[in-house]
Amino acid sequence: MKAAFWYGHRDLRVMDTPEPVVKPGHVKVKIAWAGICGTDRHEYNGPVFIPVTKPNHLTGKIAPLILGHEFSGKIVEVGEGVSDWKVGDRITASGNLVCGECEWCKSGRVNLCERLAFNGIGQDGCFAEYIVVPTYQLFKVPDNVSLEKAVLAEPLACGVHSTKLIGDVSGKDVVVIGPGIIGISCVSAAKHNGAKRVLIAGVGNSNEARARCMGADEYVDVTKHDLVQYVKNWTNGRMAEVVYECVGIESTMENAVNVSRKAAQIMVMGVYEKPPKFPMNYFQEGERILLSSQAYVDELAIVLDRMSKETTPYEDLITRRISLDRIVEDGFEELMSNNNQHVKIAIKIADL
């Protein structure tokens, strides 16, 4: 089969490789669609988490590895002991690879597993024609949801999870910083949980229409407006009660604190390449609350259910559809130069 292997910094190679062999408790999936995630882009320009010098602590695997963790497809083979899944099932999957034994796994917070690994980082991922995954990662795609739409369930689950951690957002004014797929997942989750109004801020306005379509009430292009002043006007001076920081740089973290009102909750979802300076005194004097969120547990099921019941055109979040052969030129290099213009680049691997 064809697969895209991560070999090193900006070195991703599409090569022929044997199809993976199904194991007990696992299924083999023929992949229809795969999505390029922000973490994949970080690895492409990295390494960040990909094991290069010593093998992954859970799987024992080391680079070169097939990158990618967002996919949808059909089961083509089931391993020994698998009874809940059958050949032909349409599925998507979580990326979490877990030990199943630590206190976090036992308490259900598998995304915090002591030995957490991830598809495409700790073992071969989905930028390939086939993947073998454990059944605990699987989610059934409802009959009326296309596999193209279902490839978005994984990133959208991040916003559902973080919103669950925040608790009650109903009736609140919410600000989201960063209109990429994670920011948009937060817009959608906050609106579904009854937020009064959601404002989203970004550089330029390429993603404005998509953010509005997913529920944003207001869009601010920070190249044209001062965000803090804008939020002040938007809230009549009250400022935001909930802020999601979905970029991961110093200025956006600072803005997240500065647009928040006293006792606000600030949810950090950005991945920081450098530790930011933090306006600690302003944060402290208002009894503000800092929260963070890591991926998801099983919130893909909630997203898939919404996709099946709603007419929201989730598939419009795909800003470009490419082939596996062109994953470097049309996918990763495009994101390296024009990241702000994309929400999700998706790879069509097979017609299923």
Residues that bind Zn ion (CB under 5 A): 37, 70, 98-99, 102, 105, 113, 155
DSSP 123: B
Query: By C-beta, is 172 or 210 nearer to Zn ion?
Result: 210
Which of 233, 189, 234, 238 shows the shortest CA–CA distance to 215? 189
State whether residue 79 is helix, strand or coil. coil
Decide whether 66 or 220 has the Cβ nearer to Zn ion. Answer: 66
Tokens for 69, please give them. Answer: 């963790």
Joined tokens for residue 319: 């800003």
For Zn ion, the closer of residues 53 and 107 by Cβ is: 107
Per 3-state DSSP, the chain is made up of helix, strand and coil in percentages (nearest 5) of 30, 30, 40
CA-to-CA dists, residue 6 to 12, 126, 177, 185, 216, angstroms? 5, 12, 30, 27, 36
Q: How far is the CB of 227 from Zn ion (least distance, A)?
A: 26
Residue placing its CB nearer to Zn ion in the complex, 22 or 189: 189
Residue (98 or 138) nearer to Zn ion, CB = 98
128 Cα distance to chain centroid: 19
CA distance 262 to 257: 10
Nearer to Zn ion, 41 or 306 (CB): 41
Q: How far is the CB of 10 from Zn ion (least distance, A)?
A: 20
Which lies closer to Zn ion via its Cβ, residue 96 or residue 260? 96
- Among 217, 185, 224, 186, smallest CA distance to 202 is for 224
Q: How far is the CB of 112 from Zn ion (least distance, A)?
A: 8
Distance between CA atoms of 348 and 136, rounded to whole angstroms? 25
Q: Are strands 70-78 and 26-36 parallel, antiparallel or unpaired?
A: antiparallel
Contact 21, 80 (CB under 8 A): no
Q: Can you give the C-alpha Rg of the chain in angstroms?
A: 20
Least separation in angstroms between residue 220's CB and Zn ion is 25
Contact 169, 186 (CB under 8 A): no
Smallest distance from Zn ion to CB 303, Å: 12
Q: How far apart are CA 138 and CA 326, in angstroms?
A: 28
Please name which of 262, 251, 208, 258 lies closest in space to residue 229, comparing C-alpha atoms: 258
At closest approach, how far in Å is the CB of 157 from Zn ion?
9
Least distance between Zn ion and beta carbon 114 (Å): 5
**Which CB sits closer to Zn ion, 98 or 266?**
98
Question: To the nearest whole angstrom, how small is the minimum distance from the Cβ of residue 82 to Zn ion?
Answer: 21
Closest distance between Zn ion and the C-beta of residue 105, in Å?
3
173 versus 334: smaller Cβ distance to Zn ion: 334
CA 271, CA 106: separation in Å to the nearest integer?
27
